Amino acid sequence: MKTTISRQEKGEEEVREDPEMESPYSHTRHVSCDDEGSPRGVLEMTISRADSDQSGSSRSSSPENLSVVPRPSLLRDNLIANAGPQWKSMIDVFRKKSVRKFSTIPFLTMSYDISRKSLKKRIARLRNGVDGALDLSGVSSKPSWRNFDYAELAAATDDFSSENLIGKGGHAEVYRGKLADGHVVAVKRIMKDDKDEEDVDGDFLSELGIVAHINHPNAARLIGFSIDGGLFFVLQFAPHGSLSSLLFGSECMEWSLRFKVALGVAEGLRYLHHDCPRRIIHRDIKASNILLNQNHDAEISDFGLAKWLPEKWPHHVIFPIEGTVGYLAPEYFMHGIVDEKTDVFAFGVLLLELITSRRAVDDSSRQSLVMWAKPLLDENNIKELADPRLGYAHDPNQMNRAMATASLCVNHLASKRPYMNQVVQLLKGEARPADLKQKSPTSRSTLLDACDLEDYTCSNYLDEINRHMQLVME
């Protein structure tokens, strides 16, 4: 069962329950406690959108949809007006310590200003092909996607039979399908539910526009899409499922495969951050969003929360906060700041999961993996940290490199985390942590320096998470 708390306009709380399965192909539009299994329970906190022209809270992949919010006080007032009671204390700290410094720094964020008229025009253009419907600047060649008819997808999935349902998330259902040519695919059907049609269409186009720029072996491959009878993504099927299904299953995942996955995800993130035609921040790196193909190569999936950053922008400031509890970087969870280091923190948590076979948040105790692992990392205590089922069946050099890298990635100060190109070097043994401290580039984000990040520790951040989780569970 899944419990969702949504903030209504009157400030009231509505609790509803739905039986749902999460899929690695499906969107995550909320702050959730990732608790794998199929079916499984998900604890999530969903914060409703503020007015689009004020909050800058939603996703867009086109440069014309980027805007500068000139007055921090306006953003702050809107945030406070729309916040639930469990966020009040965090906002008070934000207002007292940080907003006074933010007043001299321009806010860079994304404005969801796609009008209904322009959305209809884009969708109409999509019916005749991708040209003109998406911003493909920087893409060397037109994406070779198929525009599927609803009848094709219905036939492939036996009319979306429950027997072919392989996952269900907050806003999508995923079905295993077999096309007429025998090609096995994953069909992700976007569910509109009670969400505004404009938001659903905008999110769909945003994700499609971002995926258009991605071409890497460690990123899930999009085969096509459909807007006939609904909104659909058609993806390459991953025969070995998600990393979470293997890592947290009954059988012990061997170390060589774990390290291969870690390197693959690191290479994929390095591409998104540094080598992609657009600088893309995934925002939801977690075990259930890592797929394993026929060769057990890692593929990053689900770009529903992804943001692209213009080269001259140091970061986004985003509200509401969306993602998965346990993987959220402190500066993002507490201040809404998103840049490459947001993904680096999440990758560090993923690396700890690979080392320990523990979840980002423990199922029973709700204890954070970062909180539990940090003292052991500081002591280089492999015996207590590593999955006991591995025994001595691991490469000690790889294990040491993985532990050292994880320790740097989960630092509560973003400026002290490495970039993903440095993470790849660390994992491959081409660099040492001491080298990075000497050569680490100056942080691009002046806003991070103004956040009083030295005023809170990782423990403070985790205490905030635990408190919000308790409020949701009551």
pLDDT band at 308 (very low <50, low <70, confident <90, very high): confident
Taking the C-alpha atoms of residue 228 and residue 123, their distance in angstroms, rounded to an integer, is 10
Beta bridge partners of 2: 18, 42
Per-residue DSSP letters for 329-374? -HHHHHH-EESHHHHHHHHHHHHHHHHH---SB-TTT--BHHHHHH
Tokens of 292: 């394993």
pTM for the whole structure: 0.73
Taking the C-alpha atoms of residue 386 and residue 228, their distance in angstroms, rounded to an integer, is 49
**356-to-15, 229, 342, 372, 424 alpha-carbon distances in Å:** 34, 44, 22, 11, 20
Is residue 257 over pLDDT 90? yes
CATH 3.30.200.20 fits 116-236, yes or no: yes
Q: Give the phi and the psi of residue 289 in degrees, each rounded to 5.
A: -100, 10
Closest CA to 107 of 78, 81, 84: 78
Taking the C-alpha atoms of residue 45 and residue 42, their distance in angstroms, rounded to an integer, is 10
Mean pLDDT calculated for residue range 279-289: 95
pLDDT tens-digit map of 44-54: 333 333 333 33
Range with lowest mean pLDDT among 59-63, 204-208, 247-251, 379-383: 59-63
Taking the C-alpha atoms of residue 143 and residue 146, their distance in angstroms, rounded to an integer, is 9
Is residue 398 over pLDDT 50? yes
Would you say 137 and 61 are in contact if contact means Cβ atoms under 8 Å apart? Answer: no
pLDDT at 169: 74
Is residue 396 over pLDDT 80? yes
Is residue 180 over pLDDT 50? yes
Range with lowest mean pLDDT among 134-143, 156-165, 390-399, 404-413: 134-143
> What residue spans in the chain does CATH classification 1.10.510.10 cover?
1-114+242-474
pLDDT tens-digit map of 107-158: 333 333 445 556 556 666 665 655 555 666 666 566 678 999 999 999 999 9
Taking the C-alpha atoms of residue 45 and residue 316, their distance in angstroms, rounded to an integer, is 21
More confidently predicted of 383 and 471? 383
C-alpha atoms less than 13 angstroms from C-alpha of 466 in its C-beta half-sphere: 16
More confidently predicted of 92 and 215? 215
**128-to-34, 120, 221, 226, 460 alpha-carbon distances in Å:** 39, 13, 22, 11, 52
pLDDT at 91: 44
Beta-carbon count within 10 A of 416 CB: 15
Taking the C-alpha atoms of residue 9 and residue 214, their distance in angstroms, rounded to an integer, is 38
The proportion of the chain whose per-residue pLDDT surpasses 90, expressed as a percent, equals 46
> What residue spans in the chain does CATH classification 3.30.200.20 cover?
116-236
Report the catalytic residues.
284
266 Cβ neighbours under 8 A, 6+ residues apart = 347, 420, 423, 424, 427
Tokens of 190: 């976007």
More confidently predicted of 447 and 13? 447
Mean pLDDT calculated for residue range 386-391: 95
pLDDT tens-digit map of 145-160: 899 999 999 999 999 9
The proportion of the chain whose per-residue pLDDT surpasses 70, expressed as a percent, equals 61
pLDDT tens-digit map of 340-361: 999 999 999 999 999 999 999 9
pLDDT at 322: 87
Closest CA to 342 of 356, 354, 324, 355: 324
- The position carrying tokens 């994406």 is 143
pLDDT at 469: 53
Per-residue DSSP letters for 265-317? HHHHHHIIIIISSSEEE-S---GGGEEE-TT--EEE---TT-EEE-TT---EE
Closest CA to 133 of 308, 145, 464: 145
CATH superfamily of 1-114+242-474: Transferase(Phosphotransferase) domain 1 (1.10.510.10)
Taking the C-alpha atoms of residue 135 and residue 140, their distance in angstroms, rounded to an integer, is 12
Would you say 333 and 37 are in contact if contact means Cβ atoms under 8 Å apart? Answer: no
Is residue 41 over pLDDT 50? no
Is residue 338 over pLDDT 70? yes
Tokens of 113: 């200003």
Beta strand ranges found along 56-180 (DSSP E): 66-69, 107-110, 146-147, 165-168, 172-178
**357-to-148, 246, 248, 400, 401 alpha-carbon distances in Å:** 39, 10, 6, 16, 17
| C-alpha Rg value of the chain to the nearest Å | 21
Taking the C-alpha atoms of residue 38 and residue 250, their distance in angstroms, rounded to an integer, is 14
Is residue 364 over pLDDT 80? yes
Mean model confidence pLDDT for the chain = 74
Tokens of 77: 């007032």
Closest CA to 111 of 168, 66, 80: 66
Q: 3-class DSSP state for residue 209? A: helix
Closest CA to 46 of 173, 199, 261, 270: 199
pLDDT at 295: 95
CA quadruple 279, 283, 286, 292: dihedral positive or negative? negative
320 Cβ neighbours under 8 A, 6+ residues apart = 47, 48, 49, 50, 55, 57
